[in-house]
Amino acid sequence: MTTTDTRQRILEAAHDLVFERGFTGTTVDAILGATGASKGAFFHHFPTKGALGKALIDRYALLDAEVLETHMARAEEQSDDPAEQLIAFLKSFEDDIDAGELTQPGCLFASYVYEQIPEEADSDAVILRAIALWRERTLEKLEQAAAIRPLAHPVDLPSLADQVWTVFEGGFVLARATKDQTKLRDQLAQLRVYLTLLFGLD
Protein backbone atom coordinates (compact mmCIF):
# COMPACT_ATOMS: atom_id res chain seq x y z
CA MET A 1 0.00 0.00 0.00
CA THR A 2 2.16 2.79 -1.27
CA THR A 3 1.45 6.47 -0.87
CA THR A 4 -0.10 6.92 -4.27
CA ASP A 5 -2.27 3.83 -4.12
CA THR A 6 -5.33 5.40 -2.52
CA ARG A 7 -4.92 8.53 -4.57
CA GLN A 8 -4.88 6.45 -7.71
CA ARG A 9 -7.98 4.52 -6.74
CA ILE A 10 -9.82 7.76 -6.01
CA LEU A 11 -8.75 9.12 -9.38
CA GLU A 12 -9.97 6.05 -11.23
CA ALA A 13 -13.32 5.85 -9.47
CA ALA A 14 -13.83 9.58 -9.89
CA HIS A 15 -13.06 9.31 -13.59
CA ASP A 16 -15.80 6.73 -14.10
CA LEU A 17 -18.34 8.69 -12.11
CA VAL A 18 -17.56 12.02 -13.76
CA PHE A 19 -17.64 10.32 -17.14
CA GLU A 20 -21.18 9.19 -16.38
CA ARG A 21 -22.76 12.06 -14.48
CA GLY A 22 -20.48 15.00 -15.10
CA PHE A 23 -18.19 16.72 -12.62
CA THR A 24 -20.82 18.80 -10.84
CA GLY A 25 -23.12 15.79 -10.64
CA THR A 26 -20.45 13.73 -8.92
CA THR A 27 -20.27 14.24 -5.15
CA VAL A 28 -17.22 13.58 -3.06
CA ASP A 29 -19.29 11.18 -0.97
CA ALA A 30 -20.16 9.19 -4.09
CA ILE A 31 -16.46 8.83 -4.87
CA LEU A 32 -15.80 7.71 -1.31
CA GLY A 33 -18.59 5.17 -1.60
CA ALA A 34 -17.10 3.79 -4.80
CA THR A 35 -13.59 3.51 -3.40
CA GLY A 36 -14.16 2.78 0.27
CA ALA A 37 -11.86 5.68 1.07
CA SER A 38 -12.63 8.05 3.91
CA LYS A 39 -13.23 11.76 3.87
CA GLY A 40 -9.92 12.28 5.59
CA ALA A 41 -8.16 10.28 2.90
CA PHE A 42 -9.77 12.23 0.11
CA PHE A 43 -8.95 15.66 1.48
CA HIS A 44 -5.51 14.51 2.41
CA HIS A 45 -4.76 13.88 -1.27
CA PHE A 46 -6.83 16.71 -2.77
CA PRO A 47 -7.20 20.08 -1.02
CA THR A 48 -10.55 20.69 -2.73
CA LYS A 49 -12.94 18.96 -5.10
CA GLY A 50 -11.73 21.37 -7.79
CA ALA A 51 -8.20 20.09 -7.31
CA LEU A 52 -9.48 16.61 -8.06
CA GLY A 53 -11.07 18.03 -11.20
CA LYS A 54 -7.72 19.40 -12.28
CA ALA A 55 -5.95 16.11 -11.51
CA LEU A 56 -8.63 14.30 -13.50
CA ILE A 57 -8.14 16.18 -16.76
CA ASP A 58 -4.40 16.20 -16.37
CA ARG A 59 -4.57 12.44 -16.12
CA TYR A 60 -7.03 12.23 -18.98
CA ALA A 61 -4.88 14.44 -21.20
CA LEU A 62 -1.96 12.11 -20.57
CA LEU A 63 -3.99 9.03 -21.51
CA ASP A 64 -5.34 10.88 -24.54
CA ALA A 65 -1.88 11.74 -25.81
CA GLU A 66 -0.83 8.16 -25.23
CA VAL A 67 -3.76 6.83 -27.26
CA LEU A 68 -2.95 9.28 -30.02
CA GLU A 69 0.68 8.20 -30.22
CA THR A 70 -0.08 4.51 -29.92
CA HIS A 71 -2.45 4.51 -32.87
CA MET A 72 -0.22 6.81 -34.86
CA ALA A 73 2.73 4.48 -34.32
CA ARG A 74 0.59 1.53 -35.35
CA ALA A 75 -0.39 3.41 -38.51
CA GLU A 76 3.19 4.27 -39.32
CA GLU A 77 4.08 0.60 -39.30
CA GLN A 78 1.50 -0.11 -41.97
CA SER A 79 2.70 2.27 -44.65
CA ASP A 80 5.29 4.85 -45.58
CA ASP A 81 2.75 7.01 -47.38
CA PRO A 82 1.51 9.75 -45.01
CA ALA A 83 -1.95 9.77 -46.57
CA GLU A 84 -2.27 6.04 -46.11
CA GLN A 85 -0.96 6.40 -42.58
CA LEU A 86 -3.79 8.74 -41.71
CA ILE A 87 -6.29 6.31 -43.16
CA ALA A 88 -4.70 3.49 -41.20
CA PHE A 89 -4.74 5.69 -38.10
CA LEU A 90 -8.51 6.02 -38.29
CA LYS A 91 -8.93 2.38 -39.21
CA SER A 92 -6.95 1.44 -36.14
CA PHE A 93 -9.57 3.09 -33.92
CA GLU A 94 -12.37 1.44 -35.83
CA ASP A 95 -10.76 -1.96 -35.32
CA ASP A 96 -10.43 -1.28 -31.60
CA ILE A 97 -14.11 -0.47 -31.39
CA ASP A 98 -15.00 -3.64 -33.27
CA ALA A 99 -12.74 -5.60 -30.94
CA GLY A 100 -14.83 -4.37 -28.04
CA GLU A 101 -12.22 -2.08 -26.57
CA LEU A 102 -13.13 1.50 -25.77
CA THR A 103 -16.01 0.30 -23.60
CA GLN A 104 -17.60 3.57 -22.62
CA PRO A 105 -17.76 6.11 -25.37
CA GLY A 106 -17.33 9.77 -24.58
CA CYS A 107 -14.71 12.37 -23.86
CA LEU A 108 -13.91 14.03 -20.57
CA PHE A 109 -12.88 17.17 -22.45
CA ALA A 110 -16.35 17.54 -23.92
CA SER A 111 -17.89 16.89 -20.54
CA TYR A 112 -15.80 19.68 -19.00
CA VAL A 113 -16.49 22.02 -21.90
CA TYR A 114 -20.22 21.70 -21.32
CA GLU A 115 -19.97 22.35 -17.58
CA GLN A 116 -18.75 25.11 -15.39
CA ILE A 117 -15.80 23.50 -13.69
CA PRO A 118 -14.32 25.38 -10.70
CA GLU A 119 -11.69 27.93 -11.64
CA GLU A 120 -8.93 26.15 -9.81
CA ALA A 121 -9.31 23.17 -12.14
CA ASP A 122 -8.02 25.47 -14.90
CA SER A 123 -9.12 22.91 -17.42
CA ASP A 124 -9.18 25.24 -20.44
CA ALA A 125 -5.45 25.26 -21.03
CA VAL A 126 -5.18 21.48 -20.77
CA ILE A 127 -8.03 20.92 -23.21
CA LEU A 128 -6.65 23.46 -25.65
CA ARG A 129 -3.28 21.76 -25.48
CA ALA A 130 -4.82 18.36 -26.18
CA ILE A 131 -6.69 19.71 -29.19
CA ALA A 132 -3.52 21.34 -30.44
CA LEU A 133 -1.65 18.07 -30.08
CA TRP A 134 -4.13 16.21 -32.27
CA ARG A 135 -4.04 19.01 -34.80
CA GLU A 136 -0.24 19.04 -34.91
CA ARG A 137 0.12 15.31 -35.36
CA THR A 138 -2.50 15.03 -38.08
CA LEU A 139 -1.54 18.27 -39.80
CA GLU A 140 2.01 16.99 -40.07
CA LYS A 141 0.77 13.96 -41.99
CA LEU A 142 -1.59 16.03 -44.10
CA GLU A 143 1.14 18.41 -45.20
CA GLN A 144 3.44 15.57 -46.09
CA ALA A 145 0.66 13.89 -48.04
CA ALA A 146 -0.27 17.10 -49.84
CA ALA A 147 3.35 17.56 -50.85
CA ILE A 148 3.41 14.16 -52.53
CA ARG A 149 0.07 14.07 -54.31
CA PRO A 150 -2.27 16.77 -55.57
CA LEU A 151 -5.48 17.27 -53.62
CA ALA A 152 -8.71 16.43 -55.43
CA HIS A 153 -10.12 19.68 -54.06
CA PRO A 154 -8.47 22.69 -52.41
CA VAL A 155 -8.90 22.62 -48.63
CA ASP A 156 -7.65 24.40 -45.57
CA LEU A 157 -5.31 21.82 -44.09
CA PRO A 158 -5.46 23.00 -40.45
CA SER A 159 -9.25 22.77 -40.55
CA LEU A 160 -9.00 19.34 -42.08
CA ALA A 161 -6.65 18.34 -39.28
CA ASP A 162 -9.24 19.55 -36.76
CA GLN A 163 -11.86 17.53 -38.58
CA VAL A 164 -10.34 14.38 -37.13
CA TRP A 165 -10.90 15.60 -33.58
CA THR A 166 -14.30 16.96 -34.53
CA VAL A 167 -15.55 13.65 -35.90
CA PHE A 168 -14.32 11.89 -32.77
CA GLU A 169 -16.13 14.35 -30.54
CA GLY A 170 -19.30 14.30 -32.60
CA GLY A 171 -19.12 10.53 -32.84
CA PHE A 172 -18.81 10.28 -29.08
CA VAL A 173 -21.96 12.31 -28.57
CA LEU A 174 -23.80 10.27 -31.18
CA ALA A 175 -22.62 6.99 -29.70
CA ARG A 176 -23.53 8.05 -26.18
CA ALA A 177 -26.95 9.31 -27.17
CA THR A 178 -27.78 6.13 -29.08
CA LYS A 179 -25.85 3.87 -26.70
CA ASP A 180 -24.37 2.29 -29.80
CA GLN A 181 -20.60 2.34 -30.12
CA THR A 182 -20.68 1.20 -33.71
CA LYS A 183 -22.03 4.64 -34.55
CA LEU A 184 -18.65 6.12 -33.66
CA ARG A 185 -16.92 3.58 -35.86
CA ASP A 186 -19.20 4.42 -38.78
CA GLN A 187 -18.49 8.12 -38.40
CA LEU A 188 -14.76 7.50 -38.46
CA ALA A 189 -15.25 5.38 -41.56
CA GLN A 190 -16.94 8.32 -43.28
CA LEU A 191 -13.99 10.54 -42.53
CA ARG A 192 -11.77 7.83 -43.95
CA VAL A 193 -13.71 7.93 -47.21
CA TYR A 194 -13.31 11.70 -47.30
CA LEU A 195 -9.53 11.41 -46.99
CA THR A 196 -9.47 8.63 -49.54
CA LEU A 197 -11.26 10.80 -52.08
CA LEU A 198 -9.26 13.90 -51.27
CA PHE A 199 -5.93 12.15 -51.79
CA GLY A 200 -7.16 10.12 -54.74
CA LEU A 201 -6.33 6.80 -53.12
CA ASP A 202 -7.98 3.43 -53.79
What is the rounded end-to-end Cα distance, in angstroms, of the chain?
54
Nearest distance in Å: CB 113, a copy of itself: 5
Query: Residue 141: which residues within 8 A CB-CB, separation 6 or more?
Result: 82, 83, 85, 86, 89
Q: Which of the stretches 39-47, 54-62, 68-76, 148-156 binds a copy of itself when contact is defined by CB under 8 A?
A: 148-156
Phi-psi category of residue 103: left, alpha or beta, with phi > 0 → left and psi -120 to 50 → alpha = alpha
Check residue 35 for interaction with a copy of itself (CB under 8 A). Answer: no
Check residue 29 for interaction with DNA (CB under 7 A). Answer: yes
Check residue 200 for interaction with DNA (CB under 7 A). Answer: no
Q: Which is nearer to DNA, 39 or 129 (CB)?
A: 39
CA distance linking residue 179 with residue 106, whole number of Å: 11
Q: Which is nearer to a copy of itself, 38 or 178 (CB)?
A: 178
CA distance linking residue 88 with residue 32, whole number of Å: 42
CA distance linking residue 49 with residue 108, whole number of Å: 16
Check residue 3 for interaction with DNA (CB under 7 A). Answer: yes
Check residue 43 for interaction with DNA (CB under 7 A). Answer: yes
- Nearest CA to 56 out of 26, 100, 101, 93 is that of 26
Residue 44's binding partner among a copy of itself, DNA, none (Cβ under 5 to 8 angstroms by kind) is DNA
CA distance linking residue 200 with residue 57, whole number of Å: 38
In this structure, how many other beta carbons lie within 10 angstroms of the beta carbon of residue 155? 14
Q: Which of the stretches 1-9, 60-68, 159-167, 177-185 binds DNA when contact is defined by CB under 7 A?
A: 1-9
Q: Which residues bind DNA (CB under 7 A)?
A: 1, 3, 5-7, 26-30, 37-41, 43-45, 47-50
Q: Which residues bind a copy of itself (CB under 8 A)?
A: 20-22, 24-25, 106-107, 109-111, 113-116, 124, 127-128, 131, 152-153, 155-156, 159-160, 162-163, 165-171, 173-174, 176-178, 183, 186-187, 189-191, 193-194, 196-198, 202
